[in-house]
Each structure stands twice: as structure tokens, then as C-alpha cells.
Chains A and B, each alone.
Chain A
Amino acid sequence: MDESSAAADSFENGRYKYIHDIHNGPPEAIDVHRIVLQRSSQKKLLIFCFLALLLFASPPFFFFVQQLNLLTTLPWSLLVGGLFVRLLSQKLVKKESVIILPAFGVQLETQYGSGRTIRRFVPISKILKPVLNECVTPVTCYWSLALIIRGEEELMLVFKELYPPVKMLVPIWKAICAAIDVEET
């Protein structure tokens, strides 16, 4: 897309960073809201896991295979560690975005650490209303944004993996409400 994009808003809050872009171009302005998990915590977590695995994967090899020396066991532990880190990066979320295409629908994206992206598209006619829910669990209470879909019993969560604070959810909620209102009129 080569249209001009204006960074309308962006702010940070601890672990999450909220970025709001508006792409002005044919046919209409497209609203993009992104929530990025801060890199520092992710990287630290990865490094920590790698080191922990290195530390703990090596001794069992020494116990079981006593004839082998360090030179042969080290590549094995590195391999196992590397596999583990790759698996983890596939599960770790890098960022989640909400792209509002007016008169079309809403696209929800989840991008993982390994680059894998999962996209879900919801046509605008299927969305009844976006709602901000307070979810109560046995240990905590947090806000979540969900869409009420016509014809379905369950709510569709906009952010499946991340738990962004309510300050970041409110502009997205307002934007989706506005898009639906425009569609209805």
C-alpha cells in the first residue's frame, strides 16, 4: 500500500504499546489499531528460557551417557534448546492488530514471534455491537473487547492472546462502533 499513513495516536503502558494509524487512500480511510507486546520482556524471556534449558538439559546427558564427554553432549543440548526456543517463539505473541475497513468489515490479526500470522475477517453486516466486558476469574478481573456476532451464541474476542489495558481498548471500541453506525445509516 503506497497511500500516506498518518500516525494518529500511540502511547505505551508498561508491557503494551498501542499504535493507531490511518491509511488515507482509495477507496476510503482504513483504520489500523495495533497492540505490540514490548520487545524487552519478550527477549528477556527467550534468553532466560534458552539459558535455563542449557543449564538443565546438560546434566541428564552426563548421568545417562557416561562415556561421552562434553564435546559430544553440548551440540545435543544446544539442539534441544534451539528446538524449544523455536516452539516457544511460535506460541509467543508479538503483536495483535485490528484493521477496520469501513463498509467492508473488520480484520483481526495475531502475529507470533516466529513471524506466523493468523488473520480473521468479520464482515461488517455480521457485527451487531462491540462490547467491553469485565471478565472475572478466580484470581483477577480484567477488561476484554468482544464482538457480538449476529446469529451466533458466543462472543468473538478481538484480542485472543493479549490482555491490553482498558485505556487501549476504548479507542478501538469507539472506532468499531463508529464504523457500524456509518454502515447502518
Chain B
Amino acid sequence: MKSHYEKSFDQHRTKKCPVYLLDQYGYVPIANKRIVTKSVIWPVENRFITADPQLYPTSTVWIVFSNEIVLSWLRANGVFLHEPKIASFFFGLKIPDIMSENGKHRILMVSDFFFPNFGGVENHIYYLSQCLIELGHKVVVMTHAYNNRSGVRYMTGGLKVYYVPWKPFLMQNTLPTFYGTLPIIRTILIREKISVVHGHQAFSTLCHEALMHARTMGYKVVFTDHSLYGFADVGSIHMNKVLQFTLADVTQAICVSHTSKENTVLRSGLPPEKVYVIPNAVDTAMFKPAPERLSNNEIVIVVISRLVYRKGADLLVEVIPEVCRLHPNVRFVIGGDGPKRVRLEEMREKHSLQDRVDMLGAVPHANVRSVLITGHIFLNSSLTEAFCIAILEAASCGLLTVSTCVGGVPEVLPDDMIVLAEPDPSDMVQAITKAINILPQIDPQTMHLRMKKLYSWHDVARRTETVYDRALRCSSQPLLERLSRYLTCGAWAGKLFCLVMLIDCMLWQFLQLWQPDRDVEVVPDATLTSFRPEEMSWDSETLR
């Protein structure tokens, strides 16, 4: 019993015009042989065919699973397309080249770091997801379980979060079992009909595992790196190798600043063309300046950061007494907690600065704005930063910023809103003096309005959407070509990575036999507006 395609194939063959029945990689599924003729050209990146119209004036080309770019190219070059629809699952060949409907994507954000934990990466994922939902896409977040918060939760706007019950073992990271997370990730990808997987933060093991499994299953993958890392110490060397493995096969990568792009490209050996720079943003509606301008009699310098070595708490210990000595009308407000808090308290005692230095302790994020608006100047002394959101928040509140010139900090604010200094105490004291002198020229409201125009999460979401569009237009590559990319990672590492990926592929095939894709139920897209059972779109017809 011949199939529809086979019958038409025979029909056209009798008309003596060449018929090409092809898939994306140039294979003829019926005859299982490859069509390569003189006029067929296969560029490496995109599997186009060019059936020369002069040589084959009446050639009928059948395209089976291709994407819109190939089809439109062919039409433009005068090739007649018979049934130019995208036909998938033809002859049991299943390559998940999932095209998004009407340009809207279904995105899975994966990271170990998400709410209820608080920090920059978590904030980034949340705000980006909310803005993408407003643009019409569907976003699902996957992270590990926190204490007894496990299962499925819904956040504002219908953002679905999967708290997968894998226990974190070190610094909020899931135990890296290489293949342990394959079943649950495959289940989530199929039931939510995901088209793009977006991983965040190089330090997250769940992210690396999810990206590896998503690549094995053929999904398009985007990775965002949020921090700078070193090259010299043992931890960094191992981390960079893991990153090299993940990024060897990533579709697109995003970095939060140009410095971060340089750092990521050097660490992972990724071609720079694949890396996009999309800076973070700040919620300017939440960080508004004080309604009344503060008087300039007493200048308040605010510091809000975790008091750890990386954030330059040791620099603060040197800088604060010097500044207090030079400028008698300056007061400090220090918010935040950490191991270095003891040193700051000692400094306070030693120089008797109890009335001039206020230590607030840990400040919850909701109260950060109220602390910021009590000050004139914001001091950031971190020793390394990919992109500092704290100074964005301060600038949005109308504070003048003094910061160390490290990492991506010079790229964040315009020159008239920030005074930069070397991470050296004397240089920083000079910078603070300069800032105090500039202070009368600063207007908080103007600063806030400028920040509103410069940074917004909607802009970040639009740019990220462009990255997703580019990622989905990239062609899917066969397994062998992908494995060859891993071999370039290193003499021993390359072979090891290839082996890891091969085992992953085999495990995936085994899982597909154990529980075929069609046995995994797809979640119906229920709208959250109505609560009455009759109005919910859970009809048996739509589910079948």
C-alpha cells in the first residue's frame, strides 16, 4: 500500500521531469540515498539545494522538513515547489525542528538561581520573563526545590515555575549527576511544547545539564553569562572547561557587557559572532528619587553590598576613616551583611566613628530604595563586576556614583553620572572628593528621567526576542557534525566530551523506547482569567 508521497513520486517520474524528494540533509527517504548532482550545492551551514532552472526547467522539488528560509530562497530562485508545506515526521524520521507559530516562542528558562533565593540572576530571570510574557511569548522557568517549596507554582502573569525536587548540594547548586536530570527535562520539554531553552549563569550545574540534554534532543539553546571569572585558580580552570563543553554546541550566547563578552569568549573559545551583548536593566518605577531634594549641609554616602572580599569590603575599611578625616561634614550609611562586617565594626571602634558611620545590617530588597534616598552619593568598591545593577539602582534614585573602574562598570553609566577610580584607597578618596565637589550640579529628577530612557526591561526583552529569532533560524545539524565541534575542545577533553554526548544520545534513545514521546501528555494552554469550570478551556475535544 503506497503512501501519498510515493504515489505522487511515481506520477511525476513518468512525466520525465526530475523529482527530488529530500530532507534537510539531502537524503531521499524512500530510496535512502543522497541526491548529489552537478548543480546541487550544499553550503556547510545551511543545507540549501540549488536545482539550476536552466538545467532542470521543470524540476519539481519536494521539500520535507525544511524551514521558511530555504523555501523562500528556492522560490526566489525560480524553483517550482510542489507542496511547499513543512511536513514533519515523514517516514518515521523525526527531527525536532520546532518552528514557532506566528512568531511567538515558548521559552524554558533554566537556572539553579531563582526566587525565593534573592540576587541579580534571579531578578534578571524574573523581569525578563515578565516582559517576554507581555510581548506574547510563553515562558516556563525550571529550577531546583527550595526547602519544602517543590512542584509547580504559578507567578504573576501566568509564569509557570517548576521546582524540581533535586536537592542542592553546594552553594545552591544541584548535585551534578550528568544524566540524572534527563528524564525530567525531557518530560518538561515535551509537555510544555518548548521551542527555545535559555540557560542562565555559568556557575549553575542544572543549567549546564539542561543545555546538554536539550542539545541532545535537538532543541535550540541560548546561554546567558552573568559574571566574570578568572583563569588562574583551580576552581576557575575546571569551571572554564565545563563552560567550554556547554558552549561548544550552543546556538547563541548572551553577555551582559562587552567586557563580559571578552571574558566569555576567551574562557570558552566560542566564536565572537555567536555572542550578543544585552545589558541588564533596572525597574525605574520602583527606584524613584526622594520627593524633596536633600540639603547639602551634611553629605551622606551610601554603601549597599554584601560585605565580602569580592565586593571590596577591605577597601572600604581603608577609605572611610580617610574621607571622614578630610571632610568633616560627611556621613556614611552601610547596608548589607557578610564575613567582613567584623572588620568594619573594628574600624568604627578604632577611629571612634560611631556617630558618623551607620551600620544597618542586612537590608531586604524591598527596603533598598528607602535606604538609597537618604543619601547623596553611592559608593561601590567591588573588585570585579560584569555589570553592576546596584549602581543602576542608585542612579535611578538620583544618587551620584563613585565606583572602582573594574570589569563592565565603565560601560554602565554616562560619564557625568559616575566618577571612576582605581581600586586603590588613595585614588578612591580623591574620587570621593571630586564627587563631593560636583554634587551641587546634580539634579536627582533629571538623572531619574535619563535612566528611564536609557534602561528598561522591555528593551532587554525585545533584544532577547531577536536573539531567539536568530537561534530558531539556525539549521539543525546532524549528530556527527555536532560531535566534531566537541573534538576541538582539547586533546583529551574533546574525546571525553564526545563520549559524554554519545552516552547521552543513547540514553535518550532508550528513554524514547521506554516512554515514547506521544505518551507524555501535553499541558493544555489554560488561561488563568476565569475560574469557573464551565469557562475553562478544558474541553475533551481540545484534549484529544
Which residues of A are in contact with B by a Cβ distance under 8 Å?
14, 133-141, 143, 165-167, 170-171, 173-174, 177-178
Contacts and interface: CB of A to CB of B under 8 A. Distances in A.
Interface string B503-525: 00000000000000001010110
A80 B143 CA distance: 48
10 contacts: A14-B519, A134-B151, A136-B163, A136-B165, A141-B184, A143-B521, A166-B524, A167-B521, A167-B540, A174-B538
Contact of A177 (B164, B165, B533): B533
Given A134-B151, A136-B184, A137-B184, 5 more contacts: A133-B151, A136-B162, A141-B188, A143-B521, A173-B533
A170 B521 contact: no
A173 B538 CA distance: 11
A171 B538 CA distance: 9
A136 B192 CA distance: 14
B543 A141 contact: no
A136 B183 contact: no
Contact of B184 (A134, A139, A143): A139
Contacts of A177: 533
B533 A167 contact: no
- Mostly, the B contact residues are mixed
Contact of B151 (A136, A167, A170, A171): A136
A167 B538 CA distance: 9
Q: Can you list the 8 inter-chain pairs with the closest CB atoms, starting with the nearest?
A: A139-B183, A134-B152, A177-B533, A167-B543, A136-B151, A141-B187, A140-B187, A170-B538
B166 interface: yes
B163 A170 contact: no
B2 to A, nearest CB: 29
A136 B533 contact: no
Interface in B120-167: 150-152, 162-166
B191 interface: yes
A125 B521 CA distance: 33
Given A141-B191, A165-B521, A136 B150 contact: yes
B544 interface: yes
A60 B523 CA distance: 50
Interface string B185-209: 0011001000000000000000000
Main secondary structure of the interface of A (DSSP, over half): mixed
B316 to A, nearest CB: 44
Contact of A170 (B164, B184, B523, B540): B540
Contact of A138 (B184, B524, B543): B184
Nearest to A180: B533
A141 B540 contact: no
Contact of B152 (A14, A136, A140): A136
B544 A174 contact: no
Interface of B: 150-152, 162-166, 180, 183-184, 187-188, 191, 519, 521, 523-524, 533, 538, 540, 543-544
A143 B521 CA distance: 9
Contacts of B152: 133-134, 136, 141
Contacts of B523: 134
A140 B184 CA distance: 5
Contacts of A166: 521, 524, 543
A174 B187 contact: no
Nearest to B191: A141
Chain A CB within 10 Å — which of B166, B180, B521, B544 has the most? B521
B544 A167 contact: yes
A139 B187 CA distance: 8
A177 B166 CA distance: 34
A32 B264 CA distance: 61
Contacts of A171: 540
Nearest to B160: A134
A129 to B, nearest CB: 10
A177 B536 CA distance: 13
Given A138-B166, A141-B162, A178 B521 contact: no
Nearest to B515: A140
A178 B540 CA distance: 16
A62 B262 CA distance: 72
B187 A138 contact: no
A177 B534 CA distance: 10
B543 A170 contact: yes
A137 B152 CA distance: 11
B533 A174 contact: yes
A24 to B, nearest CB: 22
A69 B503 CA distance: 48
A136 B183 CA distance: 12
A46 B324 CA distance: 84
Contacts of B166: 138
Contacts of A173: 533
A131 to B, nearest CB: 11
Given A174-B533, A177-B533, A178-B533, A138 B165 contact: yes
A78 to B, nearest CB: 33
Contacts of B183: 139-140
A165 B183 CA distance: 18
Q: Pick from A137, A138, A171, A173 the residue with the most CB of B within 10 Å.
A: A138
Contacts of A143: 521
A25 B183 CA distance: 48
Contacts of A167: 521, 540, 543-544
A37 to B, nearest CB: 15
Nearest to B184: A139
A171 B521 CA distance: 16
Contacts of A14: 519
Contacts of B533: 173-174, 177-178
A138 B163 CA distance: 10
Contacts of B188: 141
Contacts of B544: 167
